[in-house]
A and B are shown apart, each in its own frame.
Chain A
Amino acid sequence: MPDTATDIDPRLLEILVCPLTKGPLSYDRTRHELLSAQAGLAYPVRDGIPIMLVDEARSLSDDEKAALAGKA
């Protein structure tokens, strides 16, 4: 079950794209991260607030990139 107190607002999720590539994002509910396959970055969601800054994003590992590519 997603934690509603810290989960991202679904209305926001609808319109967010990667700030770097403007490509789509997929939401990892368990880790509270928005994943950009094109940029290879994970943007954290803290207390329900998406942190859409490249500076604060985490680089995806090769395994994570492969897993994302597999889903696409």
Chain B
Amino acid sequence: MSTSQNTYTAAHYGPRAQDYVTSKDHSTGEDLDQIEAELRGANLSRALDLGCGGGHVSYRAAPHVGSVVACDVTQDMLDIVIKEAARRGLNNITVEKAAAENLPFPDGAFDAVLSRFTTHHWPDMEAGLRQARRVLKQGGRAMFIDVFAPAERVLDTHLQTVELLRDVSHVRNYAMAEWLAALARSGFAVERLSTRKMRMEFPAWVARTRTPEPHVSAIRSLQQGAPAIVTDYFAIGPDGSFNLDATTFIAHAQ
């Protein structure tokens, strides 16, 4: 089941790979600055970019570490990362196709694991976190960045529903409590966490995933019929633009 979900995600993202290299939501952000700040001067040898997508974490990390291994289940993303790394003159990035739940590295192979906007795609989030912990050295650095779901059920349900309508390979945005419990169970000690609001501009948000028109209409219909608690929380605008919650966990392997 887990592998077929990964194949499904890969098939879904393949044709859109280039959009993720150029997407401003993905190529910029304070979370990328956080990654650089965490790695700069730390003198780390090997970092894993787990679920690399368009490779933005790898490009930021590469100047500060000995080498970066970028992995993803989507072949087209990997092809693009190779080209883009070469274009940027970053020759310490290598890529491979691998799933988070079955990482092909020995225990303790990495000094850092970096994962950004990818856990919500994993068929088994906690299996992926356990693998991330396994391939890290004791005390190794970990940064997990992703959208998280609000604690209130009505908000959570709205979020998961519009996410699935927008992107049929969406698995789940986890609530903060779920994240913290899963990280602890997987052997990570969270040192710091930060949260922020990200404004999703509706036309760009659905264009990036090439959401089919009936799904776009369904999202708009849900938004327009949503109760005030939902429209207020997500600050849903007249064109469907809204706020997502994102979080960064900075942790180490226990």
Tell me, yes or no, whether A binds B: yes
- A residues within 8 Å of B by Cβ? 9, 11-12, 15-20, 22, 46-56
Q: Report the tally of A-B residue pairs with Cβ distances under 8 A.
A: 62
**DSSP majority for the B interface?**
mixed
**Which one of A17, A47, A51 contacts B79 once the chains associate, using CB atoms below 8 Å?**
A47
Is residue B169 within 8 Å, beta carbon to beta carbon, of the partner chain? no
Task: List B residues 4-22 near A (Cβ within 8 Å).
Answer: 4, 6-7
Complex A-B, nearest 3 residue pairs according to Cβ-Cβ distance, in ascending order: A52-B104, A19-B102, A19-B104
Q: Residues of B contacting A51 with CB < 8 Å?
A: 75, 96-97
How many whole Å from A50's CB to the nearest CB in chain B?
Answer: 5
The residue in A16, A47, A49 that gathers the most chain B C-beta atoms within 10 A of its C-beta is A49
Task: List B residues 24-81 near A (Cβ within 8 Å).
Answer: 46, 67, 69, 71, 73, 75, 78-79
- B residues within 8 Å of A by Cβ? 3-4, 6-7, 46, 67, 69, 71, 73, 75, 78-79, 82, 94-99, 102-107, 109
**Which one of A11, A18, A20, A55 contacts B94 once the chains associate, using CB atoms below 8 Å?**
A11
Q: Tell me if A49 and B109 are in contact (CB < 8 A).
A: no
Bound-complex Cα distance A9 to B96 (A): 10
Q: Tell me if A12 and B96 are in contact (CB < 8 A).
A: yes
Q: Tell me if A12 and B69 are in contact (CB < 8 A).
A: yes
Q: Tell me if B3 and A55 are in contact (CB < 8 A).
A: yes
Q: Tell me if B3 and A54 are in contact (CB < 8 A).
A: yes
Q: Tell me if A19 and B106 are in contact (CB < 8 A).
A: no
